[in-house]
Amino acid sequence: MSAVAAERVKLMSTRSPWWTSAVAVVIVIGMTAIVVATWDPADGPAPFAVSGYFATFGMVVVMVMAAVAVTSEYRFGTIRTTFQAVPDRTAALLAKAAVVVPVAGVVGLVAGFGAWGVAWLISPTSMSLSTDAEWRVVAGTALVWAVGAVIALAVGILVRQTAGAVTLLLVWVLLIENLIGLIPRVGADIQGWLPFVNATNFLTGGGGDAGGPPSMSAMAFGPWGSLVWFAGIAVVLMAIALAVANRRDA
């Protein structure tokens, strides 16, 4: 427990986690507000799905925060002090996850409900929160961002350098998983198994007016299955990262 307390002090005692979390929330809420406010009335009221449009972009920012929480320790050498205090590296790194992952979840919760809240204020008629699919869009952001933070921590532990880890995460989440869908014949089938495509499927898939984008016709799972698959990949990545961290020199 003392390791978790230490990680809490670490995360809260520099400014960048506060800033990145704020940026993530502002991007999601701000963009949702802009889109709903500028929605062309000729197209009818803004659909409910708009409140989930920007969750991925906010998640990427929170993932950068999570990755930097690890890579900055390698950058400045404090990871060695951490391992001096807690020589069980699995325990030390899981303590960091025990702080960073809930923070990512809470930030996701704020962003999810905040985005829905401003959309509801601007367009109350189309934004009533009732169906399972609608709740997933709003509350699911917290779960997806928390799992995303696990993946970002694992990548941070494996790569150890801020620039490398951040680039890898951005390219992976924003480019690779989308580009694979462009491969003829097999692309869509492969995409159905990719972790962040599954995260989006959890948030927006499963019918209703919050139906997923057309490229996700070949999803391997339903919404909740997608979340389990996404979380499973995160756990496997973290297990690999912990094994590597235990083997190599700090």
Among 41, 184, 185, 247, binds other proteins (CB under 8 A): 247
According to DSSP H, which parts of the chain are helical? Answer: 2-12, 16-37, 55-76, 78-85, 89-122, 132-159, 162-170, 177-179, 187-191, 195-204, 223-247
Cβ–Cβ under 8 Å, residues 174 and 60: yes
**190 interacts with other proteins by CB under 8 A:** no
Member of 44, 84, 102, 182 binding other proteins (CB under 8 A): 84
**How far is residue 249's CA from residue 181's CA, in Å, rounded to a whole number?**
39
Of 20-28, 70-78, 182-190, 227-235, which segment contacts other proteins by CB under 8 A?
70-78
Q: Which tokens sit at 125?
A: 């008629």
Between 72 and 131, CB nearer to other proteins: 72
What one-letter code names the amino acid at 67? A
Quick one: which segment of 78-86, 128-136, 153-161, 223-231 binds other proteins (CB under 8 A)? 78-86
By CB under 8 A, residue 88 contacts other proteins? yes
Q: Name the residue among 47, 71, 67 with its Cα closest to residue 59.
A: 67
Candidate list 31, 35, 45, 83; residue touching other proteins; CB under 8 A:
83
Contact 127, 85 (CB under 8 A): no
Cβ 90 to other proteins shortest distance, Å:
12
- Exactly one of 40, 42, 185, 248 binds other proteins (CB under 8 A); that residue is 248
Identify the DSSP state of 50: G
Q: Do residues 104 and 22 touch, judged by C-beta distance below 8 A?
A: no
Q: Does 5 bind other proteins (CB under 8 A)?
A: yes
* Binding of other proteins by 80 (CB under 8 A): yes
Residue 10 interacts with other proteins (CB under 8 A): yes or no:
yes
How many residues form the binding site for other proteins (CB under 8 A)? 30
State how far the alpha carbon of 85 is from the alpha carbons of 12, 156, 158, 201, in Å.
19, 20, 21, 41
**Segment lying near other proteins (by CB under 8 A), choices 19-27, 81-89, 117-125, 171-179:** 81-89
Of 4, 160, 5, 146, give the one whose Cα is nearest residue 72: 160
Contact positions vs other proteins (CB under 8 A): 2-3, 5-10, 13-16, 72-73, 76-78, 80-88, 247-250
